[in-house]
Amino acid sequence: MNLILQHDLNDLENILEKTKQQGIDFLNNLENVPTSNKNSIDYTRELNELGLGSLATLEEFNERLAPLMVASPGPRYWGFVTGGSTPASIVGDWLASVYDQNTQAIKGQGGASALIEFETINLLLQLLGLPDSFLGGFVTGATMSNFTCLGVARQWFGNQLGKDFAKNGIFETINILSATPHSSSIKSLAMLGIGSNNFTTVKTAEGNREAIDIVDLEENIKNLNGKPFILISSAGTVNTADFDDFEAISKLKAKYNFWWHIDAAFGGFAAVSDKYKHLVEGWEGADSITIDCHKWLNVPYESAFYLIKKEHTSLQIETFQNSNAPYLGNPLENFNYLNVLPENSRRLRALPVWFSLLAYGKEGFCDIVENSTSLAMHFGNELIEEGNFELLAPIRLNNVCFTLKGNHNQEKVSEFLTLLNDKGKVFMTPTVYQNRKGIRASFVNWRTNETDIEVVIGEMKETLNAL
Ligand SMILES: *Cc1c(COP(=O)(O)O)cnc(C)c1O
């Protein structure tokens, strides 16, 4: 064995102890870590001939890389839709590295972790009140989940025409309808060879909505003259957390032949609260659903899952099977995750979620969701009371989409946001909503509380004065 490796092996306990202490120090100080900084590195560092060993490398990390880190798992990182990490999720994440299992088959190699993944998906279905008619699996994020679901939808579309796109490629126009798809679904259309331009935009509903207009949807369906199509719908749009009307879509599904996909990356968690679950009523009728865990479930990156109806499993295998590898077994005889999703080897990605679900239960996640939504409301009220801001849309769940009051202030919005973010106490992201420049604040972090809202409103007042 290489001497440095041998030394690290002998010193394992000390190395992990120091790493643990560093983790504790960072997490306990998260409130004070800035949400942005201007630190940088010269990334042309030369690779050393002789290894430094873990502890000296940790020292270099602390000197050069740790100063780059921002408080993105902290309570005032409201940009994008950014969750933190609960204690139990970190335990699961650390142990996933320690046990270092590959998640594949139920029988044979990788069996233990595939069983854990089955159990975790089953627990998630219970959390979300969904039936076990879905087969689920873990991928890195909602982007890959959308990709997986739409990949199977593509195969389904071909199947309707008697074609096998996975085997022979795509020689048909695939009909896709959507109103306000997330950019990652459009990116998936590009990756799947469908083409990011090749979807039809359905109107959004009247009255400052991002949800699909059901009447216009049916008009578009009728224009297809009975041809199959794929519907990409939303449970929680990123600007205004709007939801399509799933009960109305269910009724259309009984009348027309289409694959129904729901991107519920963060909005799916509305299902855990009695106050908000009406937003997803009827979603169990979908063919596929995307949900992120590294957002509202507050587990570390990279964690998301897809749910695809079991009736489509053979199409899913056609799409993702390793068909020229006899050593991997027959995909139809022995269930193996590497034949139903994009990756082959994967870490034990279910474990952080498994730990979180057992540690906090249904009530824990209901509390996180209801706390986030009440903080969003509270922040919205404070903005209005302050006088210099206006909401661009009503607050439906956990996202606040707002701007500086008055059209004459439109050109100041990005300067305001840059100044505010540079102060390092809060981080929000810009957007454009209905042709107006705006700012988004998204509440999903389990740590955020009322004091954070006060701190941020104070910072925003100071920033206005500095404009
Ligand atoms: C965040 C998000 C995505 C993309 O998720 P990643 O985890 O970044 O891949 C897709 N759809 C919606 C609605 C989202 O909010």
Residue 108 has pLDDT above 90, yes or no: no
The whole-model pTM stands at 0.97
Judge whether residue 328 has pLDDT over 80: no
- State the average pLDDT for the chain: 96
Asked whether residue 443 carries a pLDDT value surpassing 90, the answer given is yes
The response to whether residue 81 sits with its C-beta less than 6 Å from ligand 1 reads yes
Write the single-letter amino acid at 307.
Answer: L
Token output for 71: 């408080």
| pLDDT > 90 in the chain, percent | 93
pLDDT for position 331: 76
Q: Report whether residue 117 contacts ligand 1, using a CB cutoff of 6 Å.
A: no
Pocket-testing residue among 178, 180, 184, ligand 1, by greatest number of atoms within 8 A of Cβ? 184
Element of type H or E holding 4: helix 3-10
| Cα–Cα distance measured from residue 32 to residue 254, given in angstroms and rounded to the nearest whole number | 54
The CB of 242 under 6 Å from ligand 1? The reply is no
Of 54, 78, 81, nearest to 141 by C-alpha is 81
pLDDT of 395 over the 60 cut: yes
- At 5-32, the pLDDT tens digits run 999 999 999 999 999 999 999 999 999 9
238 within ligand 1 shell (Cβ under 6 A): yes
Distance 329 CA to ligand 1 centre (A): 33
The pLDDT of residue 37 is 97
Given a cut of 80, whether residue 102 has pLDDT beyond it is yes
Task: Report CA(396)–ligand 1 centroid distance (Å).
Answer: 18
Sorting pLDDT into bands at 50, 70 and 90, what band is 107? low
- pLDDT (tens digit per residue) in 261-276: 999 999 999 999 999 9
* Residue 326 banded pLDDT, cuts 50, 70, 90: confident
Q: At what angle do helices 142-160 and 313-320 cross, to 10 degrees?
A: 110
Check pocket membership of 142 for ligand 1, CB cut-off 6 A. yes
Q: List the strands of the sheet with 176-178, edge to edge.
A: 134-139, 304-309, 288-292, 258-263, 229-234, 176-178, 200-201
For residue 407, CA distances in Å to 29, 389, 390 come to 40, 11, 11
Write out the two tokens for 55: 């502890």
pLDDT for 109 equals 58
Q: How far is CA 55 from CA 7, 8, 125, in A?
A: 11, 9, 42
Pocket test for ligand 1, best of 78, 240, 292 (most atoms within 8 A of CB): 292
Give the atom of ligand 1 at the shortest distance from the alpha carbon of 144: 9
Distance from residue 191's CA to the centre of ligand 1 (Å): 16
Quote the pLDDT of residue 110: 56
Question: Measured between alpha carbons, how far is 4 from 30 in angstroms, rounded to an integer?
Answer: 33
What whole-number distance in Å separates Cα of residue 81 and Cα of residue 401? Answer: 13
CA 41 to ligand 1 centroid distance, Å: 29
3-state secondary structure 237-285: CCCCCCECCHHHHHHHHHHCCEEEEEECCCHHHHHHCCCCHHHHCCHHH
pLDDT band at 360 (very low <50, low <70, confident <90, very high): very high
**Predicted pLDDT at 426:** 98
| Band of pLDDT at residue 130, cut at 50, 70 and 90 | very high
